[in-house]
Amino acid sequence: MKLISNAFTLFIIVALGVMMVHGKPKQQASTDLSEDELGCLVANIYHEARREDALGQAAVAHVTLNRVRSPLYPDTICGVIWQPGQFSWTEDSRSDRRTNLDAIGKAVDIALAALRGKIKDPTGGALHFYAHDKVRPYWSSRGSRLIVGAHTFVRLVGK
pLDDT in tens, 122-144: 999 999 898 888 888 777 778 78
Which whole number is the average pLDDT over 152-157?
83
Q: Where are the domains of the chain?
A: 27-156
Question: pLDDT value at position 97?
Answer: 67
More confident residue, 103 or 32: 103
Dump the DSSP string for 45-76: HHHHHTTS-HHHHHHHHHHHHHHHHSTTS-SS
Distance from C-alpha of 6 to C-alpha of 12, rounded to nearest angstrom: 10
pTM to 2 decimal places: 0.74
Residues 55-79 pLDDT 10s:
999 999 999 999 999 999 999 999 9
Residues 26-41 pLDDT 10s:
444 444 678 899 999 9
- To the nearest whole number, what is the mean pLDDT of the chain? 80
When pLDDT is cut at 50, 70 and 90, the band that residue 22 belongs to is very low
* Domain formed by 27-156, architecture: Orthogonal Bundle (1.10)
Question: pLDDT value at position 72?
Answer: 94
- Specify whether the CB–CB gap between 118 and 24 falls below 8 A: no
- The contacts of residue 51 (CB under 8 Å, 6+ apart) are 150
